[in-house]
Amino acid sequence: MTDLAASGQKVTAPSTSVYSINGWFVVGLICFVYVFFNWYLQTQVLTDQLYTYSLGRFVNPDKLSAFLEGQHRMFFLSYLMLFVNLGIRMLLVSTCLLAGLLLTSQKLPFRTLYRIVLFAESAFVAGVLFRLLVLAFSRDMNSLGHYLHFAPLSLYSFFPPDSVPVWLIYPLQTLDLFQAGYIFLLAAGIQHFMGKPLKKSLKLVLGSYGIGLLCWMIAVAFVTVSLNP
């Protein structure tokens, strides 16, 4: 099977594997979860009352009112951005994996890589569902600051919020249990379609997607430092 992958021929997964599930069904399920979470967030968590409570002491009432009106106008655009962000992220991750394969003289069809990335997205879906469950039963989410520091099962949750430098917040929030699950599922997909040992698949994923993720976190940290001198 590895020789077939190396020769550039398309590798077809067994019909009994999870990858035999219709891709559009998976896309629809992922989008439904993300849309529902976004709706819950906008209507039940990040409400006008929460913004008013968090910003009312620092922002002119007229400016705050204009800000809230802008938020309402952007409500439906936020749903569109969900699909755009999902598509771009999956495309970039697939490209990272393809680059990793090419640099190690291996090949796998881009369509197959995209399918691996699609099914690995279930790790982040699990993370969204977990956050939704926590938010639904949380009584501490009464200010914007509480939400900005909300990152359950991440490295950030192990530190007191006040002890973390601003530029380090995003990287620590990004490195969570679900990110680890995502990396594992990417490696499992590579293993499944190429017949590679899981250990080697993990090395490939860490050497491609992992480096891409590291570069992204460094870029965000740099922008954060630039905006918060």
The pLDDT of residue 116 is 97
The pLDDT of residue 6 is 44
The pLDDT of residue 1 is 41
Q: Which long-range contacts (CB under 8 A, 24 or more apart) does 66-75 make?
A: 75/42
CB neighbours of 81 closer than 8 A, spacing ≥ 6? none
CB 213 within 8 A of CB 174: yes
Measured CA to CA, the distance from residue 130 to residue 220 in angstroms comes to: 25
10-residue averages of pLDDT along the chain (229 residues):
44 65 94 95 90 84 87 86 94 97 94 97 97 88 85 94 92 97 98 94 97 96 86
Domain ranges for the chain, please list them. 2-9+19-227
The pLDDT of residue 16 is 65
The pLDDT of residue 75 is 83
End-to-end CA separation in angstroms for the chain: 53
The pLDDT of residue 162 is 86
Q: What type of residue is 147?
A: Y
Cα within 13 Å of Cα(116), Cβ side:
31
Neighbour tally for 101: CB within 10 Å: 20
